[in-house]
Amino acid sequence: MSIALLSAVEQLRLLAQRKVSPLELADEHIRRIERLNPLLNALVDFDAERVRAQARQTQRGPLAGLPVTVKSSIAVKGYKCEIGSVLNRGFVPEEDAEVVARLRGAGATLLGTTNCPEFLMAYETDNLLYGRTANPWSLEHSAGGSSGGEAAAIAAGLSACGLGSDSGGSVREPAHFCGICSLKPTPGRVPGRGHLPPNLGPFSILGVIGPMARTIADVSLLFRVLSGQDELDPASAPVEFCEVSLEDATRIPIGWFEDDGITPVTEETRQAVRDAAAALERKGFNVRRFRPESLEAARAVWWKFFVQCGEMFYAPTIRGREKELSPVFQEFLSIARAAEPLSSDALLQAWAECDIVRGRLLAEMENCPLLITPVCATPAFHHREREWTIGGKTVRYLDAMRYTQWFNLLASPAAVVPVGRSAEGLPIGVQIAGKPFADEAVLAVAAFLESEFGYSPPPIASQ
Q: List, by residue number, the catalytic residues.
A: 71, 146, 170
What is the distance between the alpha carbons of residues 92 and 47, in angstroms, rounded to a whole number?
14
Q: Decide if 20 contacts 58 (C-beta within 8 A).
A: no
Backbone angles phi, psi at 188, to 5 degrees: 100, -20
What is the distance between the alpha carbons of residues 297 and 354, in angstroms, rounded to a whole number?
9
Backbone angles phi, psi at 407, to 5 degrees: -80, -15
Of 37, 51, 27, 39, the closest CA to residue 111 belongs to 51
What is the distance between the alpha carbons of residues 385 and 320, in angstroms, rounded to a whole number?
29
How is the chain split among helix, strand and coil, in percent rounded to 5? 40, 15, 40
Give the torsion sign (CA, 235, 115, 266, 269): negative
Of 154, 170, 152, 172, the closest CA to residue 162 belongs to 154
Can you tell me whether residue 22 is helix, strand or coil? Answer: helix
What amino acid occupies position 92?
V
What is the distance between the alpha carbons of residues 113 and 93, in angstroms, rounded to a whole number?
12
Q: Decide if 2 contacts 28 (C-beta within 8 A).
A: yes
Q: Decide if 147 contacts 416 (C-beta within 8 A).
A: no
What is the distance between the alpha carbons of residues 420 and 410, in angstroms, rounded to a whole number?
27
| Residues belonging to the chain | 463
Can you tell me whether residue 163 is helix, strand or coil? Answer: strand
Helical packing angle, 8-16 and 22-40, nearest 10°:
150
What is the distance between the alpha carbons of residues 452 and 269, in angstroms, rounded to a whole number?
17
Q: Count Cα atoms within 13 angstroms, Cβ side, for 60.
A: 0
Which positions ≥6 away from 21 have C-beta within 8 Å?
15, 55, 65
Cα-based distances in Å from 291 to 212, 240, 259, 261, 405: 27, 30, 9, 9, 15
